[in-house]
Chain A
């Protein structure tokens, strides 16, 4: 019996989908059987980030409306040997095509076969959010070091705490720019965690490679040397229960030798 984790944030554009894709990938790398669910019906893009867009035949709405069986709709990620699957969202309907009870039933069913169900939640606190959290056992809140994102995270945490079936949410601070942290222009990590007062499960630096990887449909977590990738893999290990210390932030390697090293490590 697996567990379902919802990735949410309230605000849009903070990296829910990127986080979902990379945590799913990292958990699969660690040998767990993972199913990703995209609940952003009408604005799906988890499939794009995973590079599985052109293999979608059926989607979430088809499953819920019983036009197909679950296993027919699941898209297998061929980079992993039978470990990573994606249940894509429908692009032609909207959030009201599914209700929380149906989602709950669906997640329960998937939990029988998978170790982890990662649910990618849409932005907002309306129907789509309610669907996404319906079947979840745990929640991860993603925020960025911006006041607006932290404000929305606070709201979402308040809503999640009201759900009795979900464990207290954990926090990921995404898109940290170390040079802005050092100069004090950005909210620092202690400030954010003190404000939100929930457990921090990981911090991810802002890295250009993440955008490049998303565009190519290859989650950054597949790159063993990237610092964002290492951060995601560490979060995955923390989800598995390992105690991995938070890494202090460091800048991109500078200097000639470091640049050469970096050049060789890039695929």
Chain B
């Protein structure tokens, strides 16, 4: 039988364009070498062809940012190819942790008193009040089951889709991403029940009834998973 060595680089054409499948069991050095020869082979490109986007699948191989850059560079050097996306089945533990933290709800049952700060990477569910002078900050959404009298800052890492919801809204001011809204004078007189704050299409931080969330932030529903 004609025994062929396992190919480390396979080029497949799909209806979406070219996909390079890189084997995940050989060394990175071998991979680069084979990629180099494969791509230098016999593809004929016309001078006036537009750039061709290729996807790279690395299977179960983890590539560092440096290695990704090397592959991108190598492919870019070859005539008309440009890397569109590098896809891998694996992520590092740190990335996975960070991803989990940013996507989970942290539940806190306490009063946030004057001078206290609660900061979470993901969503925050606070069971208790935020008193004047207290601050709650979250990378995602903030839900307060209680009276929000202090400061709330949702989406602190730049997530403008974040919302702030509270049983009773009497905030000193609200912040989503980097947009700040001081509650207008007189607004807090009685406090308003079951309200939420979000950034609308005019890039303004607005406060509305909880019911509007269904239309403005349909992806809050996690029943199907948000991924």
* A51: min CB distance to chain B, Å: 36
A197 interfacial by beta-carbon distance below 8 Å: yes
- State whether A197 touches B111 (Cβ < 8 A): yes
A157 interfacial by beta-carbon distance below 8 Å: yes
- Which of B111, B116, B128, B132 sits near A151, CB closer than 8 Å? B132
Interface residues in B127-151 by Cβ distance below 8 A to A read 128-129, 131-133
State the CA gap A158–B110 with chains docked (Å).
10
Q: Which residues of B contact A197 (CB under 8 A)?
A: 111, 128-129
Q: Which residues of A contact B111 (CB under 8 A)?
A: 158, 197
Q: Which residues of A contact B129 (CB under 8 A)?
A: 195, 197
Q: Which residues of B contact A155 (CB under 8 A)?
A: 113-115, 133
Closest to B128 in A: A197
18 contacts between A and B (CB under 8 A): A151-B132, A151-B133, A152-B114, A154-B113, A154-B114, A154-B131, A154-B132, A154-B133, A155-B113, A155-B133, A158-B111, A158-B113, A158-B114, A158-B115, A158-B116, A159-B115, A195-B131, A197-B128
State the CA gap A9–B114 with chains docked (Å).
14
State the CA gap A154–B110 with chains docked (Å).
13
Closest to B129 in A: A197
Interface residues in A116-156 by Cβ distance below 8 A to B read 151-152, 154-155
* B139: min CB distance to chain A, Å: 24
Q: Determine the interface band of chain B, counting residues with CB < 8 A from chain A.
A: 10 to 19
State the CA gap A152–B133 with chains docked (Å).
10
State the CA gap A154–B131 with chains docked (Å).
8
Q: Which residues of A contact B113 (CB under 8 A)?
A: 154-155, 157-158, 161
State the CA gap A158–B129 with chains docked (Å).
13
Q: Which residues of B contact A159 (CB under 8 A)?
A: 115
* B190: min CB distance to chain A, Å: 13
State the CA gap A177–B115 with chains docked (Å).
29
Binary CB contact string for chain B from 102 to 135 against chain A (1 if under 8 A, 0 otherwise): 0000000001011110000000000011011100
Measured CB to CB, the residues of B under 8 A from A are 111, 113-116, 128-129, 131-133
Question: What's the dominant secondary structure at chain A's contact region?
Answer: helix
Binary CB contact string for chain A from 183 to 210 against chain B (1 if under 8 A, 0 otherwise): 0000000000001010000000000000
State the CA gap A159–B116 with chains docked (Å).
9
Question: What's the dominant secondary structure at chain B's contact region?
Answer: loop
* B116: min CB distance to chain A, Å: 5
Q: Which residues of A contact B133 (CB under 8 A)?
A: 151, 154-155
Closest to A10 in B: B114
State the CA gap A161–B111 with chains docked (Å).
10
State the CA gap A197–B111 with chains docked (Å).
8
* A157: min CB distance to chain B, Å: 6
* A123: min CB distance to chain B, Å: 16
Closest to B113 in A: A158
State the CA gap A71–B45 with chains docked (Å).
101
Binary CB contact string for chain A from 156 to 182 against chain B (1 if under 8 A, 0 otherwise): 011101000000000000000000000
State the CA gap A152–B115 with chains docked (Å).
10
State the CA gap A195–B114 with chains docked (Å).
11
State the CA gap A87–B60 with chains docked (Å).
73
* A145: min CB distance to chain B, Å: 16
* A185: min CB distance to chain B, Å: 16
11 A-B pairs besides A155-B113, A155-B115, A159-B115 with CB distance below 8 A are A151-B133, A154-B113, A154-B133, A155-B133, A157-B113, A158-B113, A158-B116, A195-B131, A197-B111, A197-B128, A197-B129
State the CA gap A154–B133 with chains docked (Å).
9
State the CA gap A48–B133 with chains docked (Å).
35
Q: Which residues of A contact B132 (CB under 8 A)?
A: 151, 154
Q: Which residues of A contact B115 (CB under 8 A)?
A: 155, 158-159
Binary CB contact string for chain A from 19 to 62 against chain B (1 if under 8 A, 0 otherwise): 00000000000000000000000000000000000000000000
Q: Which residues of A contact B128 (CB under 8 A)?
A: 197
State the CA gap A254–B131 with chains docked (Å).
40
* A179: min CB distance to chain B, Å: 24
The 4 A-B residue pairs with the shortest CB-CB distance, nearest first, are A158-B113, A155-B114, A154-B114, A154-B113
The residue in A154, A155, A159, A195 that gathers the most chain B C-beta atoms within 10 A of its C-beta is A154
Closest to B115 in A: A155
State the CA gap A197–B113 with chains docked (Å).
10
Closest to A198 in B: B111
* A190: min CB distance to chain B, Å: 14
State the CA gap A154–B129 with chains docked (Å).
12
The residue in A152, A159, A197 that gathers the most chain B C-beta atoms within 10 A of its C-beta is A197
State the CA gap A151–B134 with chains docked (Å).
11
